[in-house]
A = this chain, B = another copy of it.
Amino acid sequence: MADRFFGELADVPVGSEWLTRLQVSQAGVHRPTVGGISGTKAEGSDSIVVNGGYEDDEDFGDEIYYTGAGGNDPGSGKQVADQSLDQPGNAGLVTSELEGLPVRVVRGSKGDPKYSPTAGFRYDGLYRVADHWSEIGKSGFRIWRYKLVRLSEQEAVPYTPQVNLPAGNPAPRTSTGIVTRVVRTTAVSESIKSLYGYRCQVCNTHLDVPGGIVAEGAHVRGLGKPHSGPDVPENVLCLCPNHHALFDAGGIYLSDDLTVHDMHGHKIGALTRHPKHQIDIGFVGYHRQLWGH
């Protein structure tokens, strides 16, 4: 772990502006002077620049659908090749999502005019990576996409990483924590979990705790933007937290015959199925294509 700094810089309030990328770099807000993503797979990504460089970017202010790095023509912003998660910044944004690390967002004047400065660059605060997936972009090449959501003021607390084994904070303010994973339940999820007796449909695990059982309802095609999957039984699986996390991040996927595969395409086994539970393979296919299978 190098001394990459995640979170707000003490001397750079939201709204700070600079004329050039070099100045943004010197301020420590976004170190690379050309690349749009600062970070690595091991450390996570600490900042991005949104500046109209990618044709598939979409900016809604508090939410950004950001395109990964690579494969584009810097002049036109058009994609001319596939993107890869081997690109350090792209993998870094995945790590930031998994670890709940906050990402500094800088907007440049070439971005969506609704949310961008009229000239130069502006620091617009901390966002979290809420989701990522791949898709075929406007020009026909595979791109990686990241949904970034602006942290509310309550959450946007400075995050101070430390090197190796830090002494830590004997009396932490709990508000310095960053949310990494939010699992939502619905009435449909409850019914599916009950149907399977709270056993994971991938590994059959049954996690007993005093007074209860741990299991999660996983939506095959995700709820909410951009996936907009439905909250219906045909779109929900009963999974243990491990397989839910793997499924949501593309570590496992299903073929149309409901065989479970790992991320390399190797078969792991058959998904457990209850006769009363119809799974819609349209949703299974939607999930699979997010991960390029």
Contacts and interface: CB of A to CB of B under 8 A. Distances in A.
Interface in A87-106: 90-91, 93-95, 97-101
Interface residues of A, number: 78
Contact of A41 (B211, B224, B277): B211
A191 interface: yes
A85 B210 CA distance: 7
Contact of A245 (B194, B232, B241): B241
Contact of A191 (B165, B208, B251, B277): B165
Interface stretch (A20-28, A53-61, A155-163): A155-163
Most chain B CB within 10 A, of A211, A212, A223, A249, is at A211
Contact of A233 (B166, B190, B207, B228): B166
Contacts of A97: 212
A1 B166 contact: no
Most chain B CB within 10 A, of A41, A99, A277, A291, is at A99
Contacts of A168: 186-188, 230-233, 235
Given A99-B190, A233-B165, A240-B242, A209 B250 contact: yes
A249 B210 contact: yes
A276 B232 contact: no
Interface string A254-286: 000000001100000000000011000000000
Given A98-B212, A214-B249, A187 B166 contact: yes
Nearest to A215: B98
Interface string A206-238: 011111111010000001100010111101000
A85 B213 CA distance: 13
Contact of A98 (B101, B171, B213): B213
A230 B210 CA distance: 25
A211 B83 CA distance: 13
A250 B90 contact: no
A181 interface: yes
Interface stretch (A109-117, A118-126, A172-180): A172-180
Interface of A: 1, 41, 85, 90-91, 93-95, 97-101, 132, 159-162, 164-172, 174, 176-188, 190-192, 194-195, 205, 207-214, 216, 223-224, 228, 230-233, 235, 240-242, 244-246, 249-251, 262-263, 276-277, 291
